[in-house]
Chains A and B, each alone.
Chain A
Amino acid sequence: DIQMTQSPSTLSASVGDRVTITCRASQSISNWLAWYQQKPGKAPKLLIYKASSLESGVPSRFSGSGSGTEFTLTISSLQPDDFATYYCQQYNSYPWTFGQGTKLEIK
């Protein structure tokens, strides 16, 4: 199975900050990577697919980059609604696997 490792596990930041979350795959997954946002008690929400494609309706302050084994999710200017947990997920091969999550907290 492909292991997905996110860093950091927890990130404290303030409204207006630029933040970056990293996701590393244990082997190359080309650009078959998605990012999801999850708030407590809610289902995940798709933000980015194919590593860098912004899902329709998602604010442009979210962006994704990377290929192969290293990927990043960047939020250019944090808004109050962005404090949540973020997961990366690979779909290069079965079983699909998720990172352990990055909890973005208010500083």
Chain B
Amino acid sequence: QVQLVQSGAEVKKPGASVKVPCKASGYTFTNYGISWVRQAPGQGLEWMGWINAYNGNTNYAQKLQGRVTMTTDTSTSTAYMELRSLRSDDTAVYYCARRRAAGNGMDVWGQGTTVTVSS
């Protein structure tokens, strides 16, 4: 079946970096994009950006520009989200989601990776 599987929880110190993988299966990886969405504890959803798995083009949320990089490895059907210079307010659950062609939403989601930033 179509699924996105993410890695387990991470604990990082302020200033460090985290790289979260998202492994896709059950579909042709390069036919879709991957979006990343995060959710701080008790808060709503925040779109971080997306990557076109076919050509690697990206679009990032302005507030994360310079700190976030999204990449893909098509040989393993895995997307990655790296966030650098971590701060306490980056503590959140990070989700990857499959982005369908224009206008059709994010239809398959990973289970989420909890990233805790604490000294």
Contacts and interface: CB of A to CB of B under 8 A. Distances in A.
Nearest to A100: B44
A34 B106 contact: yes
Contacts of A55: 105, 107
Contact of B45 (A1, A44, A94): A44
Contacts of B104: 49-50, 53
A44 B103 contact: no
Interface stretch (B8-16, B23-31, B71-79, B108-116): B108-116
Interface SS majority for chain B? strand
Interface size grouping (class) on chain A:
20 to 34
Contacts of B61: 94-95
A36 B22 CA distance: 20
A94 B61 CA distance: 8
Contacts of A49: 100, 103-105
Contacts of A34: 105-106
Contacts of B112: 43
Nearest to B106: A46
A95 B62 contact: yes
A71 interface: no
A97 B47 contact: yes
Interface centre among B61, B106, B107 (most CB of A within 10 A): B106
A95 B47 contact: yes
B46 interface: yes
Interface of A: 1, 32, 34, 36, 38, 43-46, 49-50, 53, 55, 87, 89, 91, 94-101
The 10 closest A-B pairs by CB, nearest first: A49-B105, A43-B109, A96-B47, A34-B105, A98-B45, A95-B61, A101-B44, A46-B105, A46-B107, A100-B44
Interface of B: 35, 37, 44-47, 49, 59, 61-62, 95, 97, 100, 103-107, 109-112
